[in-house]
Amino acid sequence: MTITRRPLGHFAGRSVAGLLAVAGAGVGFGVLLMLVRLHWGPLHHADREAAEWFNALVAPHHALVTVLKAITDLGGRPVLIWLVTIAVVGLLIRRQPRLAVYLVITGVGGLILDPSLKALVGRLRPVVDVPITHAPGNSFPSGHALGSFVAYGALLLVFLPAVAPRRRRPAVAAVAVLVFLIGLTRIALGVHFVSDVLAGWLLGVAWLGVTAYAFRLWRRERGRPVPPIGEGLEPEAGEEIAPAPAEEHVLEHPRSSVAELLVGWVLVLGVLYGFGMFVSYHAEGTFLDTLDTAVPRWFAARRTASLDELSWWWSKFGDTHAILLVALVFCPLVVAVGKRWRPVLFVVLAMFGELSLFLVTARLVERPRPPVENLDGRLPTSSFPSGHIAATICLWSAMAIIVVARTDRWWRWLFVALAVLMPVGVAISRIYRGMHHPTDFVGAILLGVLWVGLLWWVVRPNADLPAGSRPAVEPAQAREPARAGRED
């Protein structure tokens, strides 16, 4: 009896303050809800005054508006759903299904509460003198305030055990500041009243508190100790959910590696500049000039409505949004499976290096687009090299290098095939649409091969594999003789 009462007493003592806070948040939200529904005059007046003050402060400053929009996007559904989904998949890979289920239930609850309450209240969004941005749907409560509080709060509770004790308070403070700023941007951008954001935060506190309390109850009922909430939901899972618990150094010699990459970047830029200037202004009368003239015209003469649409969709696989989306899915999964940051660094450097080389080369060469109708219209960058193709080459080849070395499963060859097919498909679509010459494609190949090759030589993304981090594909029978030999 004593053994069962002691955890219960500790749990009850630790939970009283939390329950009071959750109850207080729920009551506060209910009061705000009733005041908004009853159109209480003082609240309505205060909301209007705040909306007009923020609009007059923010609207004249375009740079500030850009920053506010970037911050507010961190509380939007696309970002939050991506974060929670990646976290759930990573937890399942690390064999933490309880935490994964907690994230799913908490996130889905937040998604249900927001539109339901907006439909119930039916409050219109603010009307300001100088509209800055627009948002669909009703106003009360703020979905960004609610969603960011619930999503970032749940992620913090799940992954707090993976944070070093001395860094937990700064982590909590950083999340709190981020949630506050997201809510503030909704007011400053004129899409929510102050009471909308306050209601979103209060509802977020209540819902997150209820789900966290239910998880702690579940632990107690199964005889597990219930730690203080400041240690996270499952402290014993800290090592398992840590991104790279066994990695001491991402790069063994970071200073020399940075120097090598800088020197290599300059050399690759020189190769691209030399080839780009030659094919753009000094190849007249050569086979390359004939190729650059004939191929775009051949494609332009065979355009159809269906091929135009197909080429548009295929071209999208190489634009910034698609490349970023694939990288944002691949990199967290690599960390979850391999427990190493070095492969992620390899992919990130591949993307940033490609982007910088493309922008600088395009600016220096300034090659005109092919002399056919450009279906994508006038673009801010020049023709050489193709950024779409170069980004596709760098991303998919970097992923293939990582995957092929880390598994012996048949599907690794899919990444090799995609590393070839994706750039070729994007290249055909870009040339078909009259946006690039064939030698722009060659320039993209040069950029991708030289830069990814340089990164492979300097970063060595699979250098951890000989140390024993390769997946266990070696048969058990083959390991027994080696063990027996060491014992002898």
Residue 248 lies in a domain: no
Which of the four pLDDT bands, split at 50, 70 and 90, describes residue 479?
very low
Answer whether residue 445 is part of any domain.
yes
**Bigger pLDDT: 454 vs 249:** 454
Domain count, the chain: 2
The domain boundary, picked from 241, 273, 307, lies at 241
Considering the domain architecture, whether residues 215 and 134 belong to the same structural domain is answered as yes
Residue 412 and residue 309 share a domain: yes
Segment of 40-54, 182-196, 248-262, 386-400 carrying the highest mean pLDDT: 386-400
Let me know whether 167 and 89 are in one domain.
yes
Percentage, residues of the chain above pLDDT 70: 91
353 and 216 both lie in a single domain? no
- 194 and 282 assigned to the same domain: no
pLDDT at residue number 245: 73
Is residue 249 domain-resident? no
Do 222 and 307 lie in a common domain?
no
pLDDT, position 401: 94
Q: Would you say residue 419 lies in a domain?
A: yes
Whether residues 233 and 295 share a domain: the answer is: no
Give a yes or no: residue 488 inside a domain: no
Average pLDDT on 62-90 reads 89
Among 193, 210, 241, residue at a domain's last position:
241
Query: Are 318 and 408 contained in the same domain?
Result: yes
Residues 43 and 65 in one domain: yes
| Residue 91 and residue 187 in one domain | yes
What burial class does residue 5 get, using C-beta atoms within 10 Å of its C-beta: 0-12 exposed, 13-18 middle, 19+ buried?
A: exposed
Domain membership of residue 410 (yes or no) is yes
Residue 22 placed within a domain: yes
Q: pTM of this prediction?
A: 0.78
**pLDDT band at 16; cut points 50, 70, 90:** low
Tell me, yes or no, whether 486 lies in a domain: no
Q: Could you say which of 207, 241, 275 is where a domain stops?
A: 241
Which domain does 372 fall in, by range? 254-464
For residues 319 and 206, state if they share a domain.
Answer: no
Which residue is listed with tokens 């086979």?
287
Shared-domain flag, residues 154 and 17: yes
Q: Give me the CATH number covering residue 321.
A: 1.20.144
**pLDDT value at position 353?**
94
User: pLDDT digits over 127-147, tens only?
Assistant: 877 778 887 888 888 889 999
